[in-house]
A and B are shown apart, each in its own frame.
Chain A
């Protein structure tokens, strides 16, 4: 019995940090409507800073907790810098740009952390005065956990007071509902946004800082925590602090008890709980219906039927690509194969994003499941490449069937967060299920069949499959199915009224997009001869988004141009130690300056010139 009590208390203790980070994210979202991807980075910075500060001070209770607080405040100040430099410029941009821009911040922070603290994991100090354990019926519970169990509700109470007993809190709650009206009443929104960002970042920093005696401090903390935090926020309801608390406790307990049954099962449990909650309450336990007042302007323009010029350009591109092997060296071919495969991956994302208005932050799940589907078939049952390449899109399409069923119940940022959570779950399964997937070591020896093993042959195989795939996706975009999807994107209510079942359309489109992403992933595994978990990691999902974004959301050629631009860029900067920093800065710059992407901006420039003439 006492064993279960201790396990329960441990769950509560781990809920504390999760709650701090999640409610920071939730508060920021409430007012700014931005899902701050960099929130995990604030958490990580909190841990590094606290460990560093405490190490410079004499050991003692005050210096420990003082360091924790100072670290949280410093993270808050960093948050202010991020808000002023990046977010302020994109409050009116479409969601996609906001999410991707904050991911740019993630990359920048990762490399800066690496530069300052180095690659090795760090162990934090024990908290003075709380370094032993409490005996509960023969079971030991660290004293520090007791402190955390108190900390969670204490912060919850303080936040309640802050929001209900101060004018600032009243203004923030008012702005959460209708920030435009608050401005019209004479309140400077900028100050509110900045101060809210400060508070949210502080809470994330605090969440990281209090973790230092409990877990190793590493460069993986940011992305590890963000997926879990998204799950918490989706379950608890965006914008609800109490919801974040309840959900954090639920997740904390699931982790604490799930780990007893089977370490892998915790993920499945998380998944099930999230599924049940979302089916019953699509906005989470305590979430409120999304408010439409002051919503962002939809910046999605119509996608036009390809004119003769576009068709000609695509034909020429295909012809050029078909002729390249005659004079190109191996290196260029390998690079081009990668560009083509990622272009198909990006085109499949564009299919649901550009047409369906669904911003998926976990599209790599399908790419990775396709890659692993093919690789597992080869490794475990000696399948030939041809069969594996059928299995890849099938597996990914099936995943789309399952994930999509949940995702289409949500919209906007909820959709984005849930898709990311699914991808992260898929990633964890692959990462942890060592016996089957080889875990971090990946699966090796995934070679093409005899006839395709030659570079030339494989290049043409890829070219044909990618060109065929892109053509099929385009066909569907201009079919009645595609029109219905866009009708739903532009006006969900109206399309509902004319009898289009939007959910089914969206669901089908996710399955289709998933299958094409899986096909690209399967080919990718064969092109590399191996597959590793990062095929479905968050950065890979972001790659897809960046490719679409580089090319522009509104143009069909966008994903292709975007893929070439991204691979070109990565190839150019991969020589540098701090390439993430460069990539992050480039991403931020694009989001801030060119919200139409490369192709979109060119088109606009042309249109502008034509108008002027």
Chain B
């Protein structure tokens, strides 16, 4: 469904990604794993277009997206949830959701605030609260909900478990499972292997901007060597 191949990306002169490729099938959850600074976020940004890939291609159901401005990539059906969350702190929960609003699509379920409040009951109780006055976990839910308002076909979740309390991490895992059940395709970046094992079907490991490993989550769980080489610090 989502296929990236041969992506090279730079920040100024610094060459960060070297021919990164990955592919996520329809309804699948792919975990992009790697240590700090490995290039996970940069890969996500290259897909959504916030970083313009110097080379390579990003295809959504065959349609080429690389090089388009972010808003067109988003409209094509890719939802991006940034690592830093980037909630609009001055805006209320409802207003944050309305920024994400995009027309409904035939191919995906249509999200409304009410449906999202079922998924995230905490948010329902703070519709008029400003984004800046929410806890980290609540903000993380809000960013996901905000992106879902665009009715994406694929959602990019950049380290959704980062900096959250264990209870909230578990809640987040259940949320991702529910989204998967609804048929959403998910690309998830993680350092937390535990979280990734709970939700992902397959894993791709990136190190220093190069893809080192691809396989099912179960295979990775069995492959102690790969985990030691690319994941544990």
Task: Give chain A's interface residues, CB within 8 Å of chain B.
Answer: 167, 170-171, 173-174, 177-178, 180-189, 293, 297
Contact = CB atoms under 8 A, between A and B. Distances in A.
B7 interface: no
Nearest to A170: B95
Interface string B50-80: 1000000000000000000111001100001
B71 A174 contact: no
A22 to B, nearest CB: 20
Secondary structure of the A contact surface, majority rule: helix
Given A180-B50, A181-B82, A186 B88 contact: no
A173 B88 CA distance: 9
B92 to A, nearest CB: 9
A293 B71 CA distance: 17
- Give 4 nearest A-B pairs by CB, closest first: A186-B74, A183-B70, A181-B86, A174-B88
Contact of A185 (B89, B95, B147): B147
A246 B85 CA distance: 34
Nearest to A297: B12
Interface in B144-197: 146-147, 150
B84 to A, nearest CB: 8
Contacts of B71: 183-189
Nearest to A189: B71
The residue among A183, A186, A189, A297 with the most chain B CB atoms within 10 A of its own CB is: A186
A170 B91 contact: yes
Interface stretch (B23-31, B97-105, B113-121, B225-233): B97-105
B99 A187 contact: yes
Contacts of B50: 180, 184
B102 A186 contact: yes
Contacts of B80: 184-185
A170 B146 CA distance: 14
A178 B80 CA distance: 14
Instruction: Name, among B49, B96, B101, B102, the residue most crowded by chain A CB atoms within 10 Å (CB to CB).
Output: B101
Contacts, number: 62
Contacts of B75: 186
18 contacts: A167-B98, A173-B90, A174-B88, A174-B95, A177-B88, A182-B99, A184-B71, A185-B74, A185-B146, A186-B71, A186-B100, A186-B102, A186-B150, A187-B71, A187-B99, A189-B71, A293-B84, A293-B86
Contacts of B95: 170, 173-174
Interface residues of B, number: 27
Contacts of B70: 180, 183-184
Contacts of B98: 167, 170
B48 interface: yes
Contacts of A171: 99
Contacts of B74: 183-186
B91 A178 contact: no
A267 B86 CA distance: 43
Contact of B89 (A177, A180, A182, A186): A177
B82 A173 contact: no
Contacts of B90: 173, 177
Contacts of B49: 184
A185 B150 contact: yes
B91 A185 contact: no
Contacts of A183: 69-71, 74
B69 A185 contact: no
A178 B102 contact: no
A192 B196 CA distance: 38
Contacts of A184: 48-50, 70-71, 74, 80, 82
A170 B71 CA distance: 17
A171 B97 CA distance: 11
A182 B69 CA distance: 12
A173 B91 contact: yes
Contacts of A170: 91, 95, 98-99
Contacts of A293: 84, 86
B128 to A, nearest CB: 12
A185 B49 CA distance: 11
Contacts of B96: 174
Given A177-B88, A184-B49, A186-B100, 7 more contacts: A173-B90, A173-B95, A181-B82, A184-B82, A185-B150, A186-B150, A297-B12
Contacts of B150: 185-186
